[in-house]
Amino acid sequence: MGKKNKNFVEKVTAMEDDFAQWYTDVVKQAELVDYGAVRGTMIIKPYGYAIWENIRDEFDRQFKETGHTNVYFPMFIPESMLQKEKDHIEGFAPEVAWVTHGGDEELEERLVVRPTSEVLFGDYYSKNIHSYRDLPMLYNQWANVVRWEKTTRPFLRSLEFLWQEGHTCHATQEEAEAETSQMLNVYADVCENYLAIPVLKGKKTEKEKFAGAEYTLTIESLMHDGRALQSGTSHYLGTGFAEAFDIKYLDKEGKQQLVHQTSWGVSTRIMGALIMVHGDNRGLVVPPRVAPTQAMIVPIAQHKEGVLDKAYDLRDRLKEIVRVDIDASDKMPGWKFNEYEMKGIPVRIEMGPKDIEKEQVVLVRRDTGEKEFVSLQELEGRLPALLEEIQQNLYNKALAHRTEMTTTVTTMSELKQSLEDKGGFMKAMWCGELACEEQIREETTATSRCIPFEQEKVSDKCVCCGKEAKEMVYWAKAY
């Protein structure tokens, strides 16, 4: 292989052959991440970070629209502070990173690098909330957190990742519960309308809920290989942390009351969902609404007189209406086509001498590969409409896939068989007993994903023990 071949985009492993390898190939070749020096850490490269920024910005906009303010808290937590809420520390202890030394000196008290910040916010709230006038307190933090995971994969599970964590305090349970639902709806909205990822909304079982929460609401999405991914969670914390941290306020009657709290988070894991829901064997497919570049102009026969000038004119015209870029490098058009398909740029605009003569361009969609000729006059109208069509098509495709990959089962043998044969979501009734949930996990490796808000009675009996069923649960193998 000569040096010349370096100019060609390498192929990715076919997802049908090895989905895990396909994923690794795409994150590398689409230039989303690189591996960090410490095992399990990742470097988010410019293109990956630009997509994350667009996702982050939409979440941030909606957080602010719903009355939240951004803050930044320190990354270190004293050990004694983490110990204050018993369930919480038990849940997180196995994966916390400890700081034991500052320079050469051993610290008097060990520090934890935040795995999440409930206790830091709890400590702050106890000092800063005094009266009902201080409520609600609606904070959000964009930060990195560290969880010492044993097996790691870029975006899906890494020692350090980026996320936001909302932490709010309310006077009443009712208000806090309304907040918990509201933020789940914000998550669902961004996932469905920006990332084009359909989600199931529901409640986690007791076993799967956040350590220290009264209950956890979740959005669950389905990846191309039939595995589920928890894509965002919103927790009603009740008064547990308020008791542990003594977060009280004086109500209007002058009585001391505990606050009711929520916390909620989405992380760079959502990038993993974007890759695994929309990607194909040519690489990444980015939904137009979060794509850093929505349309890439590739001049054809650009050495011919006037082509580049026209291509730059086109870019200047279009940049008023879409996020557009041009590749005027001296690489071959074929190389550029592959490169931007790999990066999942929604539309490619080709323009060569013949097109200039005819006053037209060629638009090529990344999602379907379809080409269309559009006159320059109509382009400003057509391009935004095409981007919307692509956005909608990606959502529809993902929804059709989820529907196809959702199976109703009423017995354990059906559950096992179906998980084995095609994977995806299994709808099955459950008695509510932990023993059955654990048995299902042991026998199938599938976990309860959520108790959906939209309940159906697919049987009277628990899929596992055959006793009277309480509710329908979605089960799946998950990332």
Beta carbon nearer to Zn ion, 297 or 462: 462
The residues facing 445 across adjacent strands are none
User: What is the closest distance, in whole angstroms, from the C-beta atom of residue 217 to Zn ion in the complex?
Assistant: 23
Closest approach, Cβ 467 to Zn ion, in A, equals 5
Return the amino acid letter for 8.
F
Question: Contact with Zn ion (CB under 5 A): which of 99, 300, 465, 478?
Answer: 465
Other Cβ atoms less than 10 A from the Cβ of 134: the count is 15
User: How far apart (Å, rounded) are the C-alpha atoms in residues 177 and 175?
Assistant: 5
Residue 431 in the binding site for Zn ion (CB under 5 A): yes
Report the nearest approach of Zn ion to the CB of residue 431 (Å): 3
How far apart are CB 209 and Zn ion at their closest, in Å? 19
Distance CA(279)–CA(229), nearest Å, equals 15
Q: And the tokens for 294?
A: 């929505």
Segment contacting Zn ion by CB under 5 A, of 153-161, 245-253, 405-413, 424-432: 424-432
Select from 23-31, 224-232, 382-390, 464-472 the region that touches Zn ion (CB under 5 A). 464-472
Q: Binding pattern to Zn ion, positions 373-412, x when CB under 5 A?
A: ----------------------------------------
Residues near 1 by Cβ (< 8 Å), separated by ≥ 6? Answer: none
Q: How far is the CB of 211 from Zn ion (least distance, A)?
A: 24
Number of chain residues interacting with Zn ion (CB under 5 A): 6
Nearest to 294 by CA among 377, 386, 196: 386
Among 318, 374, 462, 473, binds Zn ion (CB under 5 A): 462
Give the nearest distance from C-beta 121 to Zn ion in angstroms: 37
Closer by beta carbon to Zn ion, 246 or else 433: 433
Q: Which of 183, 464, 472, 476 binds Zn ion (CB under 5 A)?
A: 464
Residue 87 or 433 with smaller CB distance to Zn ion: 433
Nearest distance in Å: CB 441, Zn ion: 13
Closer residue to Zn ion in complex, CB, 347/464 = 464
Answer yes or no whether residue 112 interacts with Zn ion by CB under 5 A. Answer: no
Note if the bond before 292 is cis, omega within 30 degrees.
no
Which 432-451 residues touch Zn ion, going by CB under 5 A?
Answer: 433, 436
Count CB atoms within 10 A of the CB of residue 349: 23
Candidates 410, 400, 439, 407; CA nearest to 424 is: 407
The beta strands (E) that lie in 171-255 are given as 200-203, 215-222, 228-238, 248-250
Closest to Zn ion by CB, 199 vs 462, is 462
Which residue's CB is nearer to Zn ion, number 127 or number 207?
207
Task: Kindly state whether residue 247 participates in binding Zn ion, applying the rule CB under 5 A.
Answer: no
Tokens of 415: 């559950």
Q: Which is nearer to Zn ion, 325 or 433 (CB)?
A: 433
**DSSP letter at 422?**
T
- Rounded to a whole number of angstroms, the minimum distance from the CB of residue 232 to Zn ion is 28
Tokens of 194: 């920006």
CB of 426 to Zn ion, least distance (A): 15
Encoded one letter per residue, x for contact with Zn ion by CB under 5 A and - for no contact, window 271-310 reads: ----------------------------------------
The separation between the first and the last C-alpha atoms of the chain, rounded to the nearest angstrom, is 37
The alpha-helical segments, DSSP class H, found in 290-375 are 307-318, 333-342, 353-358
Q: Which is nearer to Zn ion, 351 or 464 (CB)?
A: 464
**CB of 462 vs Zn ion, minimal distance in Å:** 3
Helices (H), ranges, 343-471: 353-358, 376-404, 412-421, 434-444
d(CA 230, CA 421): 22
Q: How far apart are CA 267 and CA 233, in angstroms?
A: 10
**Nearest in space to 241 (alpha carbons), one of 67, 115, 75, 82:** 82
CB 241 within 8 A of CB 161: no
Q: Applying CB under 5 A, which residues contact Zn ion?
A: 431, 433, 436, 462, 464-465
